[in-house]
Structure 1
């Protein structure tokens, strides 16, 4: 009985309620889910609870809330990798809640929500610099359907969206906790004013006229198994490429000026190179279209490549994927160079491949080079099709360019420079042959974010560092005074 009382004293009903509510909100707003409104509320129950209890109970609520909320991605990553990343994320979330709680206790109620948001944003930024997944796990991608808010990415990158997602619930917690204090008004005015400014900017950007001309783009994906994509049999390779040639014929007849095919549609060994390239060259020349095909290309090294053929059949560019998928693409050599091409309508286009868009580069550099659209051959793994597609949409908003993305086992998607989806088609063996034709207004590139870089993320890191340093110094001074007495 005493043991039971001890347990219930550390795990009271409010703790369970706070942790469970936050976990449910995280679960249904992140990962494979798209309930973007819930993301704004997910940290709120834990933040409210943390302001009413001691640090130990606050941590006991925050840690499981994040872990359980992340369980919607269980099975997507290898178990050890999932466990490691989830625990690390939960530890940082717990630390941010404890920092928030400490600042409110130290009578910094107005600053506390901003510090909380800066702490988590700093973590996402630092994680993206060292993780092989880049920015993949950022909370910002949950907001892709929240068009006014995601326009902020053109100014701050995804970091501004992440900051806002953590600022709002923390501010609501402070507003409730300090509702009888004067700081109530200051916190409300600062947070409310910032949110209003973001919404006004987003709405204005959505309704401003487009930057560039319209390009008619066709995308196609033909069902294939892993074995077929890896086949080195010349007859099998040429049959696959001929099937794509027929798809290109149909898209070109419908008016497509550029046709985009998925990643690794065939394995061009030296023996199969001449026959494979001949099919693609003839297809581009016959249809007078720019043809972009993703291939495994064996040259001096093995590359995950996107070959670009001009309307006359000549090979314009050979782009090599820069961010390879660990374990699955260890045999491939990463590329280093951009591939910029002329769209033929007074605008430039860029090429990237699948996982490249999980990172801010090379996407940001294409924006700096005034690309109006990015063509992205992709693969995906069925269930994660929308996860990767929405990342691509956000890259387009960041860089102020349109995105055309063709995934072998995911989605064919086209979005404009404001993040509006212009077309979506499901691909994969079950879906059969898939195609998408869309008129795409091109962006102008050159966003503020592409010009200034991760300025907000670095600012958040500076704020976090100074805040922690000052808290540590304050506690050290208190300890010294106590010892002197």
Structure 2
């Protein structure tokens, strides 16, 4: 009868809930813990995504609730729900940025969602076995390790990095000059892990006090050093006036209408092949003419460097020399550097090149650079990935194009070549208008150069080597987007990250491997114990 009652009691328990008591692994049994932990953590996770609506504070908070939920629920249920939350948040981000319609992107970000769940798995595996303060390092270590592996293996830039949400926290992001953006991710994730360690309770007060003091000391050093860098190692006071120009809305509208008449299904680069050259030339003229006029206007107003946006202008292969000749004439007359960017339409596949061409005050071409990392939506042959540099009275200049800036090793080339200012033509889109500009802040801090990023269909920014935004112009709030900023004139600021690269992130990968190894050894040891216990029971 007793056995029957116990069996009925077990059958009345909700499916997926462990028996009451403690199973020896530190996980409470009995009633499932409040689902509010999962709801709160998931809501904060959505706010923590680096999106147009992201809230920097949410990145510090969401792991606290999800870590607690993962510890309290049986692993196969709690971790599965956290994985579902990560996948749902990622899908929402893809929808908001318009990239959900690109199958390649969806597949890559599905892998990212799995990697973002692994830190919770690692904490659940190791954290419930030990209450040492050292276990608080498991979550941030595996998180950073996953971020780095995704960037290295997926060949999709460094998306999914938690630290990017802190782009406006200047004292903290100075850490990127030592560790790269991954160090910022680590600090944010460790803070959440430490908060959960204190929240779980059951620890002697002296141990809690020592642990919190260690964390607080590290955070104080990070923020203090960042503050010192901002106050006492500011860029030099000599500046050069830089202008980013975009064609006005009226010129864009005229060009778009003319191109749509040539190809009613929507203008594509290959459409230029079958069309009459004169029709295409006339259709492209309004934007190109407006950019040339804007270049002359800003040069007359005092700009010494002028930057065009990515592919807003288009030109037929046979007309390229004429366009560059017009820009070179302005460069010679006004004694300015002009980084002209445009799409060059070809008569053979892939029918377009995405170019950045620097014209010097002597009217000469200092570089011709092809975009090295086209997005999955762009059908073009990638460039060589050799970042060009050119000496000028305003420091050594360099360039990449838009998405290229999401690849830290490509951006490191400019630092290795001593560039003091990076000129970045860009072209974003609704849903992504601010994200690239915010991410670019970290490249300046990591490598110690200023950056001027002129983005049509997005936010154009000028940033100094400490990540301070010197100027900003939003394409969507202006009839004619023009960015004007006084940018420091200097050699590149030496940074530890620029010299050593992603050493910190690699160490986190090694730490992640160690965590996995420790977890496997623990499981093997537990199975051995259970096997030995069974044998002893039989002998009895």
Report if TM-score (shorter chain) is over 0.5. Answer: yes
Q: Determine whether 1:296 maps to 2:343.
A: yes
Q: Which residue of 2 aligns with 1:77?
A: 99
Alignment of 1:268-307 (within 5 A): 268-297=315-344, 302-307=352-357
SS at 1:32's partner residue? coil
Alignment of 1:364-375 (within 5 A): 364-375=412-423
Cα deviation for residue 405 of structure 1 reads: 0.5
Match of 2:481 among 412, 418, 434: 434
Cα deviation for residue 73 of structure 1 reads: 1.4
Change (3 A) 1:236 1:278: farther
SS at 2:72's partner residue? coil
Where does the alignment leave 5 or more consecutive residues of structure 1 unmatched? none
Match of 1:358 among 395, 406, 409: 406
Give the whole-Å Cα distance in 2 for the aligned partners of 1:18 and 1:459.
32
Change (3 A) 1:215 1:12: farther
Change (3 A) 1:354 1:204: same
Match of 2:370 among 320, 332, 337: 320
Q: Is the 8 A contact 2:235 2:464 kept in 1?
A: no
Cα deviation for residue 385 of structure 1 reads: 1.4
SS at 1:51's partner residue? helix
Residues 445-454 or 63-72, more deviating: 63-72
Scaled by the length of structure 1, the TM-score of the pair is 0.91
Q: Determine whether 1:210 maps to 2:234.
A: yes
Change (3 A) 1:483 1:294: same
Q: Determine whether 1:171 maps to 2:229.
A: no
Match of 2:55 among 35, 56, 62: 35
CA offsets 1:3-26 (integer angstroms, 9 cap, x no match): 996369599774521111111112
SS at 1:42's partner residue? helix
Q: Is the 8 A contact 1:296 1:304 kept in 2?
A: yes
Change (3 A) 1:265 1:472: same
Match of 2:379 among 290, 308, 330: 330
Q: Determine whether 1:6 maps to 2:1.
A: no
Q: Is the 8 A contact 1:234 1:271 kept in 2?
A: no
Q: Determine whether 1:255 maps to 2:306.
A: no
Give the whole-Å Cα distance in 1 for the aligned partners of 2:152 and 2:389.
25
Q: Is the 8 A contact 1:287 1:311 kept in 2?
A: yes
Give the whole-Å Cα distance in 1 for the aligned partners of 2:116 and 2:159.
17
Q: Determine whether 1:413 maps to 2:461.
A: yes
Match of 2:220 among 172, 181, 196: 196
SS at 2:408's partner residue? coil
Cα deviation for residue 86 of structure 1 reads: 5.0
Q: Is the 8 A contact 1:32 1:72 kept in 2?
A: no
Residues 234-243 or 8-17, more deviating: 8-17
Cα deviation for residue 456 of structure 1 reads: 0.6
Give the whole-Å Cα distance in 2 for the aligned partners of 1:86 and 1:336.
24
Number of residues of Structure 1 aligned to a counterpart in Structure 2: 481
Q: Which residue of 1 aligns with 2:122?
A: 99
Give the whole-Å Cα distance in 1 for the aligned partners of 2:210 and 2:157.
36
Q: Is the 8 A contact 1:210 1:441 kept in 2?
A: no
Alignment of 1:443-462 (within 5 A): 444-462=492-510
Q: Is the 8 A contact 1:51 1:101 kept in 2?
A: yes
Give the whole-Å Cα distance in 2 for the aligned partners of 1:129 and 1:95.
17
Q: Is the 8 A contact 1:220 1:260 kept in 2?
A: yes
Change (3 A) 1:235 1:348: same
Residues 255-264 or 187-196, more deviating: 187-196
Alignment of 1:387-406 (within 5 A): 387-406=435-454
Residues 396-405 or 101-110, more deviating: 101-110
Cα deviation for residue 335 of structure 1 reads: 2.5
Match of 1:380 among 408, 422, 428: 428
Residues 50-59 or 445-454, more deviating: 50-59
Residues 388-397 or 6-15, more deviating: 6-15
Give the whole-Å Cα distance in 1 for the aligned partners of 2:475 and 2:11.
56
Residues 7-16 or 198-207, more deviating: 7-16
Cα deviation for residue 142 of structure 1 reads: 0.5
Cα deviation for residue 238 of structure 1 reads: 4.1
Q: Is the 8 A contact 2:48 2:59 kept in 1?
A: yes
SS at 1:463's partner residue? helix
Q: Which residue of 1 aligns with 2:73?
A: 53
Q: Determine whether 1:243 maps to 2:290.
A: yes
Q: Which residue of 1 aligns with 2:263?
A: none
Match of 1:349 among 397, 409, 413: 397
Q: Is the 8 A contact 1:154 1:448 kept in 2?
A: yes
Give the whole-Å Cα distance in 2 for the aligned partners of 1:214 and 1:240.
30
Q: Which residue of 2 aligns with 1:115?
A: 138
